[in-house]
Amino acid sequence: MALQNLSGMMIAYWAAFVNSGNPHVPHRADWPRRIGDKVLTLRLEAPTTATDFSGQHHCKEWPTRVPS
């Protein structure tokens, strides 16, 4: 259930961001533009190779939790 809740929250944040440029969702944690004098950004790094992607992301749990 925790993974489904996290997934739902992330979908809501991304949808709000795509729609308005602001990831704020009513009644959820605020995503401030700044913390002190630091601007918050998301930077995508160069592609990397994962050696234990399935283990790190608990993939074996998903088939039983994600509806088909």
Q: What is the pLDDT of residues 22-52, one digit of tens each?
A: 888 888 877 777 788 887 766 667 777 778 8
AA identity, residue 35? I
Give me the helices (H) in 1-68, please: 2-20, 53-56, 62-65
Predicted confidence (pLDDT) at residue 66 exceeds the cutoff of 70: no
Domain that holds residue 32: 2-65
pLDDT at 36: 85
DSSP type of residue 21 = S
- Measured in degrees and rounded to the nearest 5, phi and psi for residue 34 equal -135, 150
Number of structural domains the chain divides into: 1
Q: What share of the chain in percent tops pLDDT 90?
A: 1
3-state secondary structure of 14: helix
> Model pTM greater than 0.75?
no
More confident residue, 59 or 27: 27
